[in-house]
Structures are given as structure tokens and as C-alpha cells.
Structure 1
Amino acid sequence: MTAPERLTVRGPEDILGFIPHSLGYWPASSLVAMTLHGTSLGATLRLDLPAPDGQGDPFGFAGAVRRYLESDQDADGSLLAVFTSDAGMVPPSAYDLLISTVQCSLEQAGMPVRAAWFVGDDYWRDALCSDGSCCPLPGRPVQEIRDSMLNAEMVYRGSSVGPAPRTGSVPEAPVPAMHLAAVLEAQASWEEELGGRFRSRAQFKAVLGFWQMLLDRASVDAGVPDIERDAFLRATLLVPTWRDAVMVMAAAGRNAAEAGAERFNVFQEGDDGDGADESVVVLPLLLPPAEFPLSASPVGTPGTDMAGRGAAALRPPRRTVARSGSVPAGYGEVLMGLAPSVPDWARLEALERVLGQLAVPGGQAAAAALTIRGWVAWCRGRGSYAAAYLQQALELEPEYRLAELLLDLVGSGTLCGWAARKEAAWQKFGEDTAG
């Protein structure tokens, strides 16, 4: 959801009410940090809280918060919110030391903490206020946050707050069992039809062309499943070369997808892909417009999310380099978010919608669809959702290699290169959402 106009923050209830909309869910056992650009809200970061028993490393945790927020180079201040149970609301809070350590770290980075709050299950209070006369215990009702003007405005504009991502909890639209059985039966036929054509350049181009047509048409909001289409698409995802090419094409364009495949020498010798090829298998292109229901947009490490304007995050393992000229970006650069300088976010959104339909019947094709959805969530800087998709893929296929590699990236604290740069990052709410 993109808010085309600025939203006015009238008080802390509005700021705290904005956080769940920014992340996509109400956080729990979390520290949420938000950057400020003057009086405007910037990026939103969520991290799992360390153990409250003092065994955690508050300095290491504070350093991680600082590294994430420093990527928002325009930030001149910050806000903190600790979402915990009401048991942690009674002073002295188990997280007082953590907040003071994060405060000190952000002060040194030129992003002083201007306000901080504890948010429990039933009450919330100012974390920096020690005067019982103005901040009486147990605090103010959390319902004030849910009833805030900004929260109501966000709901009115179409934003929603879903459940927190968990392994196996990614919601999908219900699909009739008869449809699922028919898709699996048709998929088996397509696998047989496509067998032996994995190294055909002409077949590769035909598959990519069909996906391109589909993504260009997948901007509608509603529709019904199509058995043959879904079965064909699932069958193509079983071929790693085709699967990876679809990912690259969605983000960087068809030229990059085709050029990258050429570099890997995946095609059989003597196949130039020119002219008519009667052996090419593909659904007829004269299909009715592809229609996919809108699914909930997912939110990087497990327990780390960056969202909001400019989704600044940890920098990737090597420096982001914007490419120019006519040479297409390589597969590795695209999959890591290092090129192009800005991806095609509209086409990635269309891809995510299509994959939501294909992941439902299960099997290795579903694992592929869930893995790509996890990659799209990672590209957006939404690590908790990325981890949920990838773990769900591995539940279906325990040794699915691409899911394992991406989950290693997510788990190590590496975020997509696009999420690390404000000018390239996915923006859920558009520019200057609140101020």
C-alpha cells in the first residue's frame, strides 16, 4: 500500500500505531527503531530482543542497530520502541540497560534518540520518563494505540496488519481440492512434455517469453485459477535454469536473463535458437488475461526487518555498484541485489502474486515458488517473512539448495543490496509518509 499524501503524527500513539503497518504485523519481543529526517519518519527496523536475563550482549546488540540505521544517511534522529510483555513494564525494566546502550551508540552516530517507549500487551509507557507524577504506572492502555488517528487513517487507505510471520504460517487463499488434484495431474503431463528440452535455447526463450507475458498481465486484482497455466508454470520451476532466469528477468529484464544463461553455457552445442522450432513446448500465448488474487504482501535475518521509506539496512557483503551501459547484469549480481541500480519493483510484485498461486499444491514446484517468494521478501528488506517462506520451502524439500543458500544469507545478517540504498529500496508507503 502506498500513501500518496503525508500523514500527520499528533503524538506517540500515532507513531506506535504506524509501526505495525510499516512492518505488516504487530511485533512481539522486539526492539523497533525508526530513523527521523527532521520531523519526518524514515526507515523502520525491527530486531528480536535479546534474553532479558542479562546474558545477552547489549553492546553488540546496540552496534547492530547502529549499523542498520547508519545506511539511512539522511537520518538526524531516531525513535525506539520495546514491544514486550506487561511483566517487563514495571520499572526497573529488564531492558533499561539495553535502551541506554542503544541510546549511547546512536548518539555517537549522529542519530540521537528523541523518544522511547515500552509497549506491553495491555499498557504502554514512556521508557525515558522516571517521574511517576507524569508517567504513572502501569502506563496507558494499548487500546489508545489501536484507536489512534493515524492507525485509523492507515486502515482507511487500505493498509492492514496481519499475523507475525512464523514457519509454516504464511497464509494462502483456499483452493478447492479438486483443482489441486487437477493441477498435479496436468503438471505431470507437462513434465513429460518438457523432459529432454532443458538444454534447448529455443525452449528456454519460449518459457521465458510465456512468463514475461504472464507478469505483464498479472496486475489485475482478482480472478480464478487456471489448471493448465498453473501446471505449466509449476513444471517450468522444476528446471533450475528456467527458475533462476524468471527471477532475474523479473528484477532486471529479459536481456539480463538471457545473457546470464548464455554465460553459464547451459544450452546444447549447435542450438542457436533461431528460426521456428517445432519441438518447442509452450502453452498458446493467446490466453485470456492472467488473473491472480492479491495476496498479503510479505515484510533481513530471522528476527530482523527493515521497512518503510527508504528501508535502509545492513550493507551487502561487498560494495553495491550501479551498472550502466549495454552489458546486462550477471545472475549473481541480480540475485544479491547489486544490479541493476534499481530493480523492477512492479514486476517483482507481479511475480510474487503469481507464485502465491503456484505454491499451494505442494511438492518440489511449491518449494521453488516459496523460495522465490522468500527471495522477493528479502529484496524488500523483510527478513522475517523471507525466513518463513524459505523454511516452509525446506519443510517441503529438506535439501532444496537455493532455499538453503538464501536462508544462510538471511540468517547471517546479510540483506539485499537494494534494501541497503534508499534510492533503490522498496517503499511500502511512498515518499514522506508521515511527519
Structure 2
Amino acid sequence: MLTNELRISSPADILSFVPHTLGFAPRESFVFITMRGNTLRATLRVDAPTDTNPKGFSRAMADYLALDTVANAAVLAVYTDQPAADGTPRPFNEHVEAIVETLDAAGLPLKDAWLVTSEHWKNLLCDDLRCCPIESLDSITDGHLNAEMIFRGSSYKDAPGTTYPTFNGPSDTAEQIEHAGHVLQYSEEINGSELWNQTIEQGRPVGPETAVQLLACFQFPSLRDTLMCNVIEPERIDADGSGYLLLGDGIAPDWARVDRAEDAARELITAAPEGYRAPLLTVIGWLYYLKGQSSVAAKHFTAALEDVPGYRLAELMEEIIGNGRIAPVAADEATGYKKP
């Protein structure tokens, strides 16, 4: 198989490709990859189901996968350490059987599937160990595909990037942020959009003074919303009528710019004391939502609400992804995020 000019010749190659395309090693997850012929296409990761409605889960997965309108098959990797229930051949047996049936009825048959645990992997659909033996995880990490991805500069994290260091900056940083906020309110000394756009465009480390000023800017909801819009539309002067940007509908982002904005927001989080991080955590979560990585987005919204309980924008974004919505920009192959 070929995907992005990568030659994939075995299930182990597909499994080594998964964390590279997600950016992290999945755990307790169902990872679907759509296919067209022998070409891998879109990747969908969802948390392993905890519900007792396999048919509802399988229909939801089929609806998501149907967004890839040219796909004609799919494969599935189930990452879990949960044991099979008594009397069943595999973990999540009812969900897997429902997925096979539903995808087949939808014209998107499940071509193959694998179970990946913390100790080994094996075929998920074949129960005969004589033809489908248990395989070592080394066959995934030591394979030529993983080596080629690393050679190309690809890497991934052990878990989604939602862990940030404890603040250890100057003890008066909060006072500095409050002072900068006062300057924002009562003078024109700080132009938030101009400062944020410069920071994104330059792609350089954020200096201490700039960090304080930007942190102050993000504490004001109306200005925060404008700065979010500026990630996609740099020329915007306010957030009026920007709902389509929040939802990722009808947009074609400059993804290199989005990545630079994420990097800058991460720096600002590190420079922010507790109680001032929620806006940036929410911004990063929103960017991951636009990229189609709702699980990482959700972790950032949760972190934002831990930093500032009741933070409304994080609650709103949680409601959006909690309803199973995928950003339209992520669902469209022409506009969706492609990892550099």
C-alpha cells in the first residue's frame, strides 16, 4: 500500500503509522482508517466505548467515516488492555460485530482489524492462533515504516500533549498581567491583534514582556475572541459574525500559521500563573478541534475548567464536541489538517 508516498506492506506497518498520524500513542481507543483501493486515507480516533449500545456506536462511527466520500473500505485498530468478557472471543466483542455489520451495510466494509495491548498485538477478527498468532510490539516499532517516518522527521508523544509544567516564573507575574490589562482598558499603548499577529508570523520564542501583554489580552473575552479569529483571518478587527470560524465551517486555514499559533499559545501557558491559563488552553483545544482531534481538544477544555471553573468558552466547546460534532474543515479532505 502507499500513503503519502510511504510503502505499507503489512499490518505492523499500518499500526506503526497510526501514532505518527495522530501525533500520540493511542490508549483505550478505537482507531479507524478509511481506504480507497490500497491507499490509506482519513484517520478517526475515538475513546473506547463505555456504553451498552453497540449498534448506536457503530452507526455513529459509520456516519463519521462516510464523510470520506471516496473511501470504499476501512480498517480498525482497537487499543486496549481490557480482557474479553466471559464467553466472547475478543474485547468489545458486541461493538466489533456491530461495526462489521454496520460498515458492510454502508458500503464501507471493514477490510481488517487488529487488537493492540500494552504487551502485544494480534488480528482482531481471526481467533485461530495457528494462522493469526500473537505478535510482539517490537514488530511495530522496529519495522521499516516506523524507521522511515522517523527519518522524515516525524515523531509522536506517549499521550496527547495536554500536560504543562507548573508555573515557576516571577512571583509578581500576576500583578504584571493585571497592570497590562489596566493599560489595555485605558490606553492604546497595547494593540492586541497586532501583537498576536506579529508573534504568530515571526514564529520565534515569546519574550517576557510580550508574554505578559498577550496574557493580559486573552483575559478579556471580546479581545480573546478576536485573537482567536486572527489565527485564521489575520485582518479581522473584531469577532462579530465569526461563528463559522468557531465551528470551522467554510474555512481553509493556513495550517502552518495555525501550528505557529499553537506553539505561541503553549509558550504563553508556560508563562502564565494558575488562574490565567484557561483562555490559552481553550484556544489550543479549539485548534485541535479544527484539526479533527477532538479527544485532545476535550482534554484541553477540561484543563481550562480546572484552571478557571465555569470558564464559559471551554464549556461551550465541550458541548460542541460532546454532541459528536466534527469540524467541517476537518471532514473535508481538501481543507483538513495534514501533519507536516
**What TM-score does the superposition give when structure 1 sets the normalisation length?**
0.72
CA distance in 1, matches of 2:91, 2:299: 29
Instruction: Tell me the equivalent position of 2:209.
Output: 228
Question: What is the CA distance between 1:203 and its match in structure 2?
Answer: 7.2
Which secondary structure state, in structure 2, belongs to the residue aligned with residue 110 of structure 1? coil
Question: What is the CA distance between 1:171 and its match in structure 2?
Answer: 3.0
Instruction: Tell me the equivalent position of 2:307.
Output: 396
CA distance in 2, matches of 1:152, 1:246: 39
Q: Does 1:407 align with 2:318?
A: yes
Measured at CA, do residues 203 and 185 of structure 1 come closer, stay the same or move farther in structure 2, by a change above 3 Å?
Answer: closer
Which secondary structure state, in structure 2, belongs to the residue aligned with residue 74 of structure 1? coil
Question: What is the CA distance between 1:64 and its match in structure 2?
Answer: 1.1
Instruction: Tell me the equivalent position of 1:70.
Output: 66
Number of aligned pairs? 336
CA distance in 1, matches of 2:59, 2:253: 29
Q: Does 1:105 align with 2:102?
A: yes
Letter in 2 for 1:26: A
CA distance in 2, matches of 1:377, 1:362: 23
Q: Is the 8 A contact 1:77 1:114 kept in 2?
A: yes
Which residue, 276, 297, 301 being the options, matches 1:365?
A: 276
Instruction: Tell me the equivalent position of 1:216.
Output: 201
Letter in 2 for 1:247: M
Q: Is the 8 A contact 1:367 1:393 kept in 2?
A: yes
Which residue, 143, 153, 165 being the options, matches 1:158?
A: 153
Which secondary structure state, in structure 2, belongs to the residue aligned with residue 365 of structure 1? coil
State the Cα deviation string for residues 357-398 of structure 1 (Å, max 9, x = none).
111223443111111111111111111111111111111110
Instruction: Tell me the equivalent position of 1:418.
Output: 329
CA distance in 2, matches of 1:127, 1:15: 14
Taking only the aligned residue pairs, the percentage that are identical comes to 32
Instruction: Tell me the equivalent position of 1:38.
Output: 37
Instruction: Tell me the equivalent position of 1:345.
Output: 255
Measured at CA, do residues 5 and 226 of structure 1 come closer, stay the same or move farther in structure 2, by a change above 3 Å?
Answer: same
Looking at both structures, which has the greater relative contact order when contacts are Cα pairs under 8 Å and sequence separation is at least 6? Answer: 1
Which residue, 104, 125, 128 being the options, matches 1:128?
A: 125
CA distance in 2, matches of 1:181, 1:154: 43
Q: Does 1:170 align with 2:151?
A: no
What pairs with 1:130-145 in structure 2 (closer than 5 Å)? 130-136=127-133, 139-145=134-140
What pairs with 1:246-285 in structure 2 (closer than 5 Å)? 246-254=227-235, 257-258=236-237, 260-261=238-239, 263=240
Question: What is the CA distance between 1:402 and its match in structure 2?
Answer: 0.8
Question: What is the CA distance between 1:34 and its match in structure 2?
Answer: 0.7
**Structure with greater proportional helix content:** 2
CA distance in 1, matches of 2:54, 2:82: 21
Instruction: Tell me the equivalent position of 1:386.
Output: 297
Instruction: Tell me the equivalent position of 2:24.
Output: 25
Instruction: Tell me the equivalent position of 1:193.
Output: 183
What pairs with 1:261-340 in structure 2 (closer than 5 Å)? 261=239, 263=240, 330-340=241-251
Which secondary structure state, in structure 2, belongs to the residue aligned with residue 34 of structure 1? strand
CA distance in 1, matches of 2:67, 2:54: 21
What pairs with 1:77-96 in structure 2 (closer than 5 Å)? 77-85=73-81, 87-88=83-84, 92-96=89-93
**What TM-score does the superposition give when structure 2 sets the normalisation length?**
0.91
* Aligned alpha-carbon RMSD (Å): 2.4
Letter in 2 for 1:63: R
